[in-house]
Structure 1
Amino acid sequence: MSGKRINLAIIGVGLIGGSLGLCLKDKMGEDIYITGLCRTQQSMDNAMKLGAVDYATADIEAVVKEADIVFLSPPVLQIVPMVEKILPYLKKGAILTDAGSTKQYIWQHLQKILPEDVYYIAGHPMTGREKSGVTAAQKDLFVGKAYVIVEDTGAPKEAHEKLMGVLRHTGANFTTMDIAKHDRCASVISHVPHVTAAALVTLLNRTGGDLDSCIKLIGGGFKDTTRIASSNADMWADICMTNSEAIAKNLKQLQAILGDVITACETGDRQAVHDYFAASKARRDSLLENATKKFDPN
């Protein structure tokens, strides 16, 4: 990257923030200087030792005062309070972006407090791992994954170009959509599946005296369908609180679908059950065939 060095502040140098730092230091080298806000000394030490940031500290002012771009990657409910804390130290023209899985809640609050010369460009990298923390970070975490950029938050074209000039180094597949559609789609593609995976583990826990025997039977199918149930509980509690309408609506739809399957099982309607599985297989196979080369949403 040519021209002036970019100063990037990462708020929350965990899995996502740490992976972004690793990627950008690898791709941009001395053309980017990354500061990181960490809560604990161990996190600071790990972030610097791994090379995810050039400098890590718990001092908010030191992290953001020179930042051209601030990447916010704490749990969703902590994003707005964090912006309130950093606002006094941001320079004119600073760009805020985030990794939050819900967007409307954040924007509804930020648009009330952001000054005219500080810009917010909502983002959502559709990636992750079951492990959390900077020690789980990977420089190629974003490669080939869908990365949503929401463009209806009032930031000027120059700010978008500056941000994308940095984020393109991730190798993600960028797509744009309006903020309300993002939250609806994220509910179907990401949020409800996480709730459902956790429900399957909860079901296992409620098998009573059969629990030990059930555990002996655990194989690839159970592991695959419940993999995302190992995700961070704080993050997912915040997501459910900030996209509650869409999540509740889609869970009710899922409840109705399962109700139909229950009825078919109880009445011995094999054709209905067959059609249920056949239709879902056809849809999934078609989706994978069409989308694998474009996106890999997690």
Structure 2
Amino acid sequence: MDSITVGFIGFGLIGGSIARALKELNPKNTLLAYHYSKKKPSIGLIGAKEDRILDIITEDLTDFSVCDIIFLCAPVLSNISYLSQLKSIIKSDCIITDVGSVKGNIHKAALELNLDRNFIGGHPMAGSEKTGYESSSSRLLENAYYILSPTDLTPPDRLEFLRSLVVSMSAIPVIINAGEHDDITAAISHVPHIIAAALVNMVKDSDDPEEKMKTLAAGGFKDITRIASSSPVMWQNICLTNTVSIKQFLKLYITSLQDVSDALSSQDASYLFEFFETAGDYRDSLPVKVTGLINRSYEIYLDVIDEAGAIATVATLLATNLISIKNIGIIHNREFEQGVLRIEFYEEGACNKASLLLKKYRYTVYER
């Protein structure tokens, strides 16, 4: 692929990871990032410049007039506000895309600004509860789903350019419209984050002065609420921009909780059994099979290079050291997860032994 000029507005975990991937793809790519504050640039921006990932840090958006593509990587509401500022600056064939997990509002704004020939919604389904350029990696997008939502007026050649760019970063492009995207993410991401935060706040508000609940909380509670540690600003923005879809699925969830409450009151044993059985069956049918959230699982995640034999190499290394694997597989939806490859073990000792062994062989290992 020929060298391109790429602009970034917002430069944290996702923006930094995309920038790293693009620079590895072609060191001649010119990357610039916008510094919106008059204060000293952030540690992340300075670090990216020192790492030679960024070529230019600018306080003037007019410098983005040379960009072939611009990634909006700020919080959702901020991304929308930048569209109007960019309209009179960009060249006619520039692609503007975002990385937010809500598409409807920004698509509407692009339409109202007559930018629907330039704008293509984007949502890389990768990341972690950790934030900032310091946590970024060129492999963060590897084998991860990357949703693209074109407008009705998106030129086919621009969509194909962005699709090809996503593929070149080793991600998996999925093309769907904005409305369908927002319903999907509300159901599988946004409502679960609200639930996780609500559970944490319920325990916090119900605990006694000695904090016995906090002290004893482990295993299932930590597993199901881990995502509650994510950025409050980001989730505030998501809730304010995907309100309709979130309310739709939140209402369904509240109804299901009321049904469980009613079953408890009536001691409806058959309903409760079916409730847990159907949930367990569906959970086990997900692409990477895992144990239930309340059952303790022994698992590690690690980064692997996307090349033939990479998984086999890891499996062989563990097998030759007499470490049994329960499950192994690539994770394609890695929002708020780290590590491309997930390995599950039958017991804790094997998990710990595998972690030490893989670290010894220079693998980057993430433990839950």
* Structure 1 counterpart of 2:58: 57
Give the whole-Å Cα distance in 2 for the aligned partners of 1:225 and 1:56.
Answer: 39
- Tell me the CA shift for residue 152 of structure 1: 3.2
Aligned residues between the structures: 293
- Tell me the CA shift for residue 193 of structure 1: 0.8
* Structure 2 counterpart of 1:77: 77
- Whether the 8 Å contact between 2:70 and 2:95 is mirrored in structure 1 is yes
Give the whole-Å Cα distance in 1 for the aligned partners of 2:288 and 2:333.
Answer: 12
| Structure 2 residue 95 is matched with structure 1 residue 98 | no
Q: Kindly tell me: are residues 204 and 294 of structure 1, through their superposed partners in 2, closer, same or farther at Cα, counting changes over 3 Å?
A: closer
**Which one-letter code corresponds to 1:33 in the other structure?**
T
| Structure 2 residue 333 is matched with structure 1 residue 296 | yes
- Whether the 8 Å contact between 1:121 and 1:153 is mirrored in structure 2 is no
* Structure 2 counterpart of 1:23: 21
* Structure 1 counterpart of 2:357: none
SS in structure 1 of the partner of residue 30 of structure 2? strand
Cα deviation per residue 1:96-125 (whole Å; 9 max; x = unaligned)?
A: 111111111111111111358x51111111
Give the whole-Å Cα distance in 1 for the aligned partners of 2:220 and 2:51.
Answer: 34
Matching of residues 208-247 of structure 1 within 5 Å: 208-209=207-208, 212-247=211-246
Q: Is there any run of 5+ residues in structure 1 with no aligned partner, and where?
A: none
* Structure 2 counterpart of 1:35: 32
Q: Kindly tell me: are residues 229 and 254 of structure 1, through their superposed partners in 2, closer, same or farther at Cα, counting changes over 3 Å?
A: same
Give the whole-Å Cα distance in 2 for the aligned partners of 1:58 and 1:280.
Answer: 51
Q: Kindly tell me: are residues 210 and 278 of structure 1, through their superposed partners in 2, closer, same or farther at Cα, counting changes over 3 Å?
A: farther
Q: Is there any run of 5+ residues in structure 2 with no aligned partner, and where?
A: 290-328, 336-368
TM-score, with structure 2 as normaliser? 0.75
| Structure 2 residue 50 is matched with structure 1 residue 13 | no
CA RMSD of aligned residues (A): 2.1
- Tell me the CA shift for residue 289 of structure 1: 5.2
- Whether the 8 Å contact between 1:19 and 1:52 is mirrored in structure 2 is no
Q: Kindly tell me: are residues 65 and 248 of structure 1, through their superposed partners in 2, closer, same or farther at Cα, counting changes over 3 Å?
A: same
Q: Kindly tell me: are residues 231 and 289 of structure 1, through their superposed partners in 2, closer, same or farther at Cα, counting changes over 3 Å?
A: closer
Give the whole-Å Cα distance in 1 for the aligned partners of 2:195 and 2:58.
Answer: 37
Q: Kindly tell me: are residues 206 and 6 of structure 1, through their superposed partners in 2, closer, same or farther at Cα, counting changes over 3 Å?
A: same
**Which one-letter code corresponds to 2:77 in the other structure?**
L
- Tell me the CA shift for residue 293 of structure 1: 5.4
- Whether the 8 Å contact between 1:125 and 1:147 is mirrored in structure 2 is yes
* Structure 2 counterpart of 1:258: 257
| Structure 2 residue 83 is matched with structure 1 residue 86 | no
Cα deviation per residue 1:2-44 (whole Å; 9 max; x = unaligned)?
A: x4x20010111111111100111122222x1111113451242
| Structure 2 residue 107 is matched with structure 1 residue 107 | yes
* Structure 2 counterpart of 1:281: 280
* Structure 2 counterpart of 1:125: 124
- Tell me the CA shift for residue 56 of structure 1: 1.9
SS in structure 2 of the partner of residue 81 of structure 1? helix
- Tell me the CA shift for residue 196 of structure 1: 0.9
TM-score, with structure 1 as normaliser? 0.91
Higher mean alpha-carbon deviation, 151-160 vs 76-85, is at: 151-160
- Tell me the CA shift for residue 142 of structure 1: 1.2
Give the whole-Å Cα distance in 1 for the aligned partners of 2:26 and 2:152.
Answer: 27
Give the whole-Å Cα distance in 2 for the aligned partners of 1:174 and 1:92.
Answer: 25
SS in structure 1 of the partner of residue 154 of structure 2? coil
SS in structure 2 of the partner of residue 36 of structure 1? strand
**Greater Rg by CA:** 2
Which structure shows the higher helix fraction? 1
Q: Kindly tell me: are residues 7 and 260 of structure 1, through their superposed partners in 2, closer, same or farther at Cα, counting changes over 3 Å?
A: same
SS in structure 2 of the partner of residue 41 of structure 1? coil
**Which one-letter code corresponds to 1:266 in the other structure?**
S
Cα deviation per residue 1:125-151 (whole Å; 9 max; x = unaligned)?
A: 112211222112121111122211113
- For CA contacts below 8 A with separation 6 or more, give which structure has more relative contact order: 1
Q: Kindly tell me: are residues 35 and 289 of structure 1, through their superposed partners in 2, closer, same or farther at Cα, counting changes over 3 Å?
A: closer
- Whether the 8 Å contact between 2:191 and 2:246 is mirrored in structure 1 is yes
Q: Kindly tell me: are residues 246 and 92 of structure 1, through their superposed partners in 2, closer, same or farther at Cα, counting changes over 3 Å?
A: same
Give the whole-Å Cα distance in 1 for the aligned partners of 2:96 and 2:7.
Answer: 10
Give the whole-Å Cα distance in 2 for the aligned partners of 1:15 and 1:57.
Answer: 19
